[in-house]
Amino acid sequence: MESPSKIKRRSTRIIEASSTTTKTTTRRSPFLPTPFEAILLSIYPATLLLGSIFSVLSPDVRASEYNPVLQSHPPSTAPSYFAKKSNIFNQWFVKKGWAWISASYFFFLLTHPSTGPPGVFTLTPRRLRGFLRYVVVTTWWVFVTQWFFGPAIIDRGFIITGGQCELVDAAEKGKVDMDNTRQFVTGVACKAVGGKWKGGHDISGHVFLLVLGSMFLFQEVLHVVLRSSGMKEERTIVMEDGAIKSAEVEAPPQNEAEGLTQDGWLSLSVKIVLGVAGLSLFMLTMTAIYFHTWFEKLTGLIVAFGGVFVVFWLPRLNPTVRMVLGMPGI
């Protein structure tokens, strides 16, 4: 018969093992966003939903006829300055959106102390991986909006769903003299020859750009700021042996910016990045209210989230990808 002391020690070990097992099984899946990321991700569909509802309920918006071909309200009856495609924010910010996103991000990457020596062109591991994440996101933007081994994904989707340049029909009816009319397989090419791009489903390029760009900036900067404020690292990762651990285990033992004041972390570069991302959210709201159909905005959101997943979630699930792309703030 065992002594009471042995029974007590065995019970203690069982309780400790049970506690360890409980902690292991309750760790968040790397596939799931952290509470902070969940809030951030929810802002985008909420913005599109509320903007679309506002466009239905607003008497001014309903009173202005919407042209589905032009994907906008006629300038003469536009319900708001922001409902006009000619508004300065659309012309100089949205249409040049990726340039703003790129410039603000590289300013952050080269000047913020968390990535390396501020203002010094030293290639640190964090800067290299940050640049590679930018390359992946930019490649996705190019594939969707500019070129995908020919027409961009947006144009290919439009054609697959029955869309085409209106000049194709005119040429087939003999009203327009045109050789190889079906060469106009992009919206830009069609409009360049005076035609209209109509008939198919058009993924909202504005929604795609504004969501992808702002989410990229938020992910890159806010994780750095949150870590600097002493908040617990809530992201989890899959290790090579399949174990799920906190991303904290791969953080460098000595942070380059350790010891900085809060003002040092919230530097000019962070404020510029957040300003560009914030303006993107504002223009996303304007897009939700005045431009595109519900389904066009939804598909733009989904395609943008696809790029976000590859850059910021896939590394958490795959150690090999993580070695190449890294994670913001780690």
Locate the domains of the chain by residue range. 38-65+91-148+206-286+297-325
Q: What are phi and psi of 231, to 5 degrees?
A: -70, 145
Q: 162: phi > 0 → left, psi -120 to 50 → alpha, else beta; which?
A: left
Known catalytic membership, residue 206? yes
Cα separation, 1 vs 86, in Å, equals: 89
Cα torsion angle, 276, 304, 128, 152, sign: negative
Phi, psi of 237 (to 5 degrees): -135, 155
Report the run of H or E that residue 164 belongs to, with start and end.
strand 164-165
Q: Which of 73, 112, 206, 223 is catalytic?
A: 206
Nearest CA among 91, 1, 22, 40 for reference residue 283: 91
Mean pLDDT score, 192-219? 86
DSSP 3-state of 119: coil
pLDDT at 21 over 70: no
Least confident of 70-79, 205-214, 227-236, 279-288: 70-79
Of 135-149, 248-262, 268-282, 306-320, minimum mean pLDDT range: 248-262
What are the Cα distances from residue 11, in Å, to 2, 7, 19? 13, 6, 12
When pLDDT is cut at 50, 70 and 90, the band that residue 137 belongs to is: very high
pLDDT in tens, 263-284: 455 678 999 999 999 999 999 9
Most confident range (mean pLDDT) of 17-26, 57-66, 228-237, 278-287 is: 278-287
Q: What percent of the chain has pLDDT over 90?
A: 47
Least confident piece of the model among 12-26, 217-231, 305-319: 12-26
Q: pLDDT class for 24, splitting at 50, 70, 90?
A: very low
Q: Which amino acid is at 133?
A: R
- Report which secondary-structure segment, H or E, holds 48: helix 35-57
pTM of the complete model: 0.84
Q: Give me the pLDDT at residue 262, please.
A: 47
Residue 78 vs residues 65, 171, 197, 283, 285: alpha-carbon distances, Å = 8, 33, 21, 16, 16
Percent of the chain with pLDDT over 70: 77
Question: What are the phi and psi torsion angles at 128 (to 5°)?
Answer: -65, -45
E strands in 181-288: 197-198, 236-238, 244-246
| Of 266 and 325, the one with more pLDDT | 325
pLDDT for position 65: 78
If you average pLDDT over every residue of the chain, what do you get?
Answer: 82
56 pLDDT more than 70: yes
- Residues 48, 221, 224, 125, Cα dihedral to 10°: 130
pLDDT value, residue 188: 65
Residues 6 or more apart in contact with residue 74 via CB below 8 angstroms:
64, 65, 67
Task: Choose among 205, 206, 208: nearest CA to 186.
Answer: 205
- Average pLDDT score over residue span 154-178: 69
